[in-house]
Chain A
């Protein structure tokens, strides 16, 4: 049975490369049972979106119709 520390490794990895079927399965099973790891997964995902937010904030002054 996979433990939390290993689960965080896979949560991190899935943001950088495609997980194998086996990896996806183990991670999903662990997340189903572990609240703390589900929240960690949310936190990693939030951090992963931080660059886009930074950039979006730059363009706040641009008229919406000109945004790409």
Chain B
């Protein structure tokens, strides 16, 4: 649905009908957010479906102070955390291991700790311009998918969900040190992947 069709209908629509239209419009973004966390299409669809249902049921409790989409997004965050907790209880999480070396990261550095020539970080330009770039988000999505599950989970809880490392430790049951090591790895892997797949393609 385009912005245009929603706007045209605005005058004749009731408030809740208008909100239904906004839910439909925001659904794809909610879905891609859920997918980044849950790494499974069906689970992501379920979480978004439940969040949308809850939003419709609780419609009256939306106080209208902040954006409606942000409010729905908040509901989705709870649903995602719920799903992750269930997965954890079912023992579907691999233990987190920060002891072993990470080849993907070692490849970026020489033995002496300096950058490898072909891994030296380049200039990504202005963040505002970067984030406006639709292709950047596609590549970000692909690079997140390429991360190992454990690393991606900690990164997305920290950087997409906005939890503190202390909260992540409670959620996942790891030590904070462990969390910092994993985040360092996640950031180095993501930056290398983004640079290779996005920046290099952009400049061709």
Contacts and interface: CB of A to CB of B under 8 A. Distances in A.
Interface of A: 3-6, 8-9, 12-13, 15-17, 36-37, 39-40, 42-44, 46-51, 53-55, 57-59, 61-62, 66-68
Task: Tell me if B's interface is mostly helix, strand, loop or mixed.
Answer: helix
A51 B160 contact: yes
Interface stretch (B22-30, B87-95, B145-153): B22-30
Would you list the 10 A-B pairs with minimal beta carbon distance, nearest first?
Answer: A3-B113, A62-B67, A39-B121, A12-B184, A59-B67, A68-B66, A5-B113, A40-B121, A58-B69, A36-B120
A43 B160 contact: no
A13 to B, nearest CB: 6
A55 B25 contact: no
Nearest to B25: A61
Given A3-B112, A4-B109, A12-B180, A50 B140 contact: yes
B200 interface: no
B115 interface: yes
22 contacts: A3-B112, A4-B109, A8-B184, A8-B188, A12-B183, A15-B183, A17-B165, A40-B121, A46-B127, A47-B191, A50-B160, A54-B29, A55-B70, A57-B29, A58-B69, A58-B70, A59-B70, A62-B68, A66-B66, A68-B65, A68-B66, A68-B67
Contact of A66 (B33, B67, B121): B67
Nearest to B130: A46
Contacts of A43: 121, 124, 187, 191, 194-195
